[in-house]
Amino acid sequence: MGLLMLDTSFPRPVGDIGNPDSFDFPLVIERIPGASVQRVVHGRAEGLLEPFIEAGHRLIEHGAVAIATSCGFLVLHQRALSAALPVPVASSSLLQVAWAGALLGPARRCAVMTFDADSLGPEHLLAAGAPLDTPVAGMPRGGALQSAILADAARLDVEAVRAEVLDVACSLVRADPRIGAIVLECTNLPPYAADLRRALAMPVFDSSTLLEWLWHAAAAKPPSRGSARHGPGTRRPSLDGRAGE
């Protein structure tokens, strides 16, 4: 699986898309210089499409049979990336909103939890093929997750983030009892997906569920865990989740 990675170094616990130990299949990773969280989330990745496409071609040269990205806000460029690259491209876990909604009865709906609700607008839902009235809730502004990621911090308070995630999800479901499934836009939220499934007793879709689906569709022979590979210029996260050389 090829991964187009933002230019970040904050900790990535197991479950995060940027930690190869999150998956039972190998990753080949290309980091995009200058692709900061601010520039992609708040700046709509302006000026970065060509570098992403070029990196995608390098991933294919290194054996990638499909390509994903490390930020769900790149759904805005789903069509451009899939048109430019000759393998399947999954730009965002938001692509699962329509699929998840189709699994639910007519009285239920799928909701989205995102890194930043103020930055995720109708154009993102439209690009994902999701209903424009999809309920959306974001992580707390200035909270443990946003602060660490926007500052590209060396430490991440996992327990504080876990508490934030559960609080946001429970508030979202209390506000709309029709919600029957949740999609996590942010690729840094899957480490807490199991907690959400237990707390909410409903399906939770994220970048992990998307990549597992795509891998099993695209790979001829799924290899065993622990065979992750990295492309040139990338850094493998160490055991504590920090991105190391």
Structure-model confidence comparison of residues 228 and 7, the more confident one: 7
- What mean pLDDT do residues 167-177 have? 97
- Mean pLDDT, residues 185-206: 98
What is the token pair recorded at 113? 């939890």
| pLDDT tens digits for range 37-77 | 999 999 999 999 999 999 999 999 999 999 999 999 999 99
The DSSP H or E segment spanning 2 is strand 2-5
Report pLDDT for 229.
47
Q: Would you say 243 and 9 are in contact if contact means Cβ atoms under 8 Å apart?
A: yes
Strand intervals (E) in 32-186: 67-69, 89-90, 109-114, 136-138, 179-184
Specify the 3-state DSSP secondary structure of 109. Answer: strand
> Is residue 239 pLDDT above 50, yes or no?
no
Q: Are 238 and 230 in contact (CB under 8 A)?
A: no
pLDDT value of position 220: 77
Give tens-digit pLDDT for 25-41.
999 999 999 999 999 99
Return the amino acid letter for 196. Answer: L
pLDDT, tens digit (0-9, with 9 covering 90-100), for 211-236 = 999 999 999 765 555 444 444 444 43
Confidence (pLDDT) at 108: 97
CB 73 within 8 A of CB 40: yes
Concatenated DSSP letters of 35-57: --HIIIIISTTTT-HHHHHHHHH
What pLDDT sits at residue 169? 98
pLDDT at 95 > cutoff 50: yes
Q: Is the pLDDT of residue 242 over 50?
A: no
Mean pLDDT of the chain: 91
Task: Identify the sign of the CA torsion 232, 238, 242, 245.
Answer: negative
